[in-house]
Amino acid sequence: MDAELFNSAISGNEISFASNPEQLTAGGNSVLHVAAKSGNVHIMEKVLDWQPPLLYMTNSKGNTALHITASLGHCDTTKLLITFAKAKGQEVELKMELLRKQNLERNTALHEAIRYDHYNIVELLIQNDPGLTLITNNAGESPLFLAVDRRFYKIALHIIDTPGNHLPSYKGRKSKNVLHAAVINHAKSDFVRKMLEKFPDASLKADDSGRIPLHYAVHIGNVDVVELFLQRNNSIAYKKDNEGMCALHISVKKGHDGLMRTLIEKCPDTCELLDNKHRTVLHLAVESGRINAVKLFMETLAFLDLISEQDKDGNTPLHLAALHIAGFDEYYKILEILAHDRRIDKWARNEGGMTAADIIQSNDKLSMKFKKRIMRTCNLERVDDGQTPKEVQTLENKGPSMATDDQENRVDDGQTPKEVQTHENKGASMATDEQENISKFSITSITIITTVTYAAAFQLPGGYDSNTGMPVLRNHPAFWYFLVLNSLSFVFSAAVMFIHYSKISKQRKKTKPTSECLLRFLICFSISFMLIAYFVSLFEVLYRSKVQSRSSAPPPK
């Protein structure tokens, strides 16, 4: 298109009708398209009178002049184009042809007006053709969905209140609908209620991921909208998405405690639903590190028979807690909650033949000290088939695969699980007896040493001088060596006795906390007083006797 014609059309100046009307811009725009950009009604009237066919002409994007005026918000020029279409002969057909003309994206002028939130033009277009609300574009978006998706709720309300024989389309892209869009965009519950009343079937429709509007409401955590859906039809709580997850699964995964309780209260048997991986809601709670959810399901009576359910890989919730133990502190707390519950099967094996304890032992990310702590605090300790500590250590170093093979071999040797358990208990009992014997021998030896050294301090070698009361051998160096070494032996033996007792007291179960604390304090005081008495007595024997001998000596002449 030459510059003179283009500038005249877009600036609103008089157009030279001697120009070639078939001239196009680089984008395929005719002179009417260019005039539509300016929004100048006078120029557009002259162009239409000059070349009426330009009314239906499209550019390289498939847009008519009506698409351009609608998208730019030029209400007067939009009205002019519609009026011009009516004035030509068969007005209904020509008007419909113009209004319903779609561009390459299959958007009508109504789609374009909604995209840019031009309410007046939307109102004008729907007034002239209510059927425009039924047309969807290439993405599957209806005008109503497009309005809600862009949060233009005033336009959306106008569309659903449009009188007519047919309801507007509520379809959207990727098989979503207007309720999906309302929930995802956090629309108020009053607006969602109105959409639900107008399109009740939309609450049952799933998108390409298999999710219905309720799933998105739960995902977001919108309690009011969830309750609204459930009041309307609580059967939707049992619908699953493509991963087999229902609303309760999603609420657990996202950690919405209030929604979990609401769903369990209104639909308690949803606790029994499993996803495509055969996971219960407790599996998901453990995997997601949701401590409150774990506690809730452990207290829910409807779920008690599923707390040790195994997924496709044979993992119970306890297995999953053990697998994630190297993560956040939440997993350690969850492991403790599950392991301390008597209803949990702590020795269940997964498809790899591993128990939760085996998984922990084979985890290379954990230190040996931390593994022992976990095994002790979670009551997962047991000796496998009488293995010596060295053999157990070797098995741990070999890794999880070797440990699994070894477990399978032991089970395949013809032993029943009961026989294996009995053998393990016997090995643990023998190890405990041996430790107790060593402990008794040690404490007896220390007690004898302490007693002998205490008595030796007062039954000194050589005895005492009857006149002075002092040790006879006090002037001999060997006597003082004896006294120092005897005192060191006494102090060390008393210290060992104290440490030994402290170690034993920590390992004992706290069945009677009050009596245990009292006993511990009494023994500590007893050992302390024995040490004090020893040195006070030694002081009296050596120092006081020396003072008395000096005072009883005759005065010098």
Kind plus residue range of the DSSP H or E element containing 4: helix 3-11
Closest CA to 534 of 464, 470, 501, 486: 486
CA distance 425 to 388: 14
Helices 75-86, 119-128: axis angle to 10 degrees equals 10
CA pair distance 255, 296, nearest whole angstrom: 12
Coil, strand or helix: which one is 177? strand
Residues with Cβ within 8 Å of 123's Cβ and at least 6 positions away in sequence, in order, are 158
- The tokens for 144 are 């109503």
Residue 452 confidence (pLDDT): 65
Candidates 42, 28, 70, 113; CA nearest to 82 is 70
Q: How many helices (H) and strands (E) does the chain have?
A: 28, 0
The structure tokens listed for 91 are 């007005």
Contact between residue 227 and residue 251 where contact means Cβ atoms under 8 Å apart: no
**Do 99 and 109 meet the contact criterion of CB atoms below 8 Å apart?**
yes
Q: Give me the CATH code for the 1-132 domain, please.
A: 1.25.40.20
Query: Is residue 6 within 8 Å of 29, Cβ to Cβ?
Result: no
- Chain center to CA of 394: 36
Task: Specify the pLDDT at position 251.
Answer: 96
The 8-class DSSP code of residue 542 comes to I
What's the confidence (pLDDT) of residue 209? 95
Considering only CA atoms, which of 260, 261, 311, 319 is closest in space to residue 286? 319
Distance CA 79, CA 54 (A): 16
Query: In whole angstroms, what is the distance from residue 30 CA to residue 58 CA?
Result: 8
Per the rule left: phi > 0, alpha: psi between -120 and 50, beta: everything else, 79 is alpha
Q: Report how far residue 55's alpha carbon sits from residue 47's, in angstroms, rounded to the nearest whole number.
A: 9
**pLDDT at res. 491:** 74
How far, CA to CA in Å, does 505 sit from each of 274, 373, 500, 508?
A: 47, 18, 9, 5
State the DSSP string of 101-146. Answer: ---TT---HHHHHHHTT-HHHHHHHHHH-GGGGG---TT---HHHH
246: left (phi over 0), alpha (psi -120 to 50) or beta: beta
3-state DSSP: the chain helix, strand, coil percent, rounded to 5?
65, 0, 35
| pLDDT in single tens digits along all 557 residues of the chain | 566 667 666 766 666 555 666 778 888 888 888 889 888 888 888 888 888 888 999 999 999 999 999 999 999 999 999 988 876 545 556 668 889 999 999 999 999 999 999 999 999 999 999 999 999 999 999 999 999 999 999 999 999 988 876 789 999 999 999 999 999 999 999 999 999 999 999 999 999 999 999 999 999 999 999 999 999 999 999 999 999 999 999 999 999 999 999 999 999 999 999 999 999 999 999 999 999 999 999 998 888 889 999 999 999 999 999 998 876 678 889 998 999 888 999 999 999 999 999 999 888 888 888 888 888 888 787 544 434 334 334 434 444 443 344 444 333 333 433 443 444 444 444 545 555 565 565 667 667 666 766 676 666 666 766 676 677 766 777 667 666 776 776 777 677 666 766 666 555 544 445 545 654 555 565 556 566 655 665 665 565 455 555 555 555 54
Contact criterion met (CB below 8 Å) for 137 and 173? no
Torsion angle in degrees (nearest 10) through CA of 352, 353, 359, 363: -50
Q: Residue 182: count other Cβ atoms within 10 Å of its Cβ.
A: 29
8 Å CB contact between 276 and 244? yes
pLDDT at 86: 75
Closest by Cα among 289, 343, 287 to 311: 287
CB-based burial label for 176 (10 Å; 0-12, 13-18, 19+): buried
Kindly state the helix (H) or strand (E) to which residue 324 belongs, with its residue range.
Answer: none
Query: Is the distance from CB of 143 to CB of 111 less than 8 angstroms?
Result: yes
Q: Which residues contact 377 (CB under 8 A, 6 or more apart)?
A: 336
- Type and span of the H or E element at 305: none
Which pLDDT score, from 0 to 100, does residue 293 have? Answer: 93
Backbone φ, ψ for residue 464 (5° rounding):
-120, 150
What is d(CA 53, CA 398) in angstroms, rounded to the nearest whole number? 84
* Under 8 Å between Cβ of 9 and 17: no
Q: Write the single-letter amino acid at 29.
A: N
CB 427 within 8 A of CB 383: yes
Contact 34, 9 (CB under 8 A): yes
Give the CB-side neighbour count of residue 491, counting CA atoms within 13 A. Answer: 8
- Three-class HEC string of 469-525: CCECCCCCHHHHHHHHHHHHHHHHHHHHHHHHHHHHHHHCCCCCHHHHHHHHHHHHH
Residue 438: HSE in the Cβ half-sphere, 13 Å Cα cutoff: 8
Residue 539: the pLDDT is: 63
The enclosing H or E element of 315 equals none
pLDDT of residue 148: 97
- pLDDT at 421 (0 to 100): 42
pLDDT at 108: 97
Q: What is the pLDDT of residue 520?
A: 55
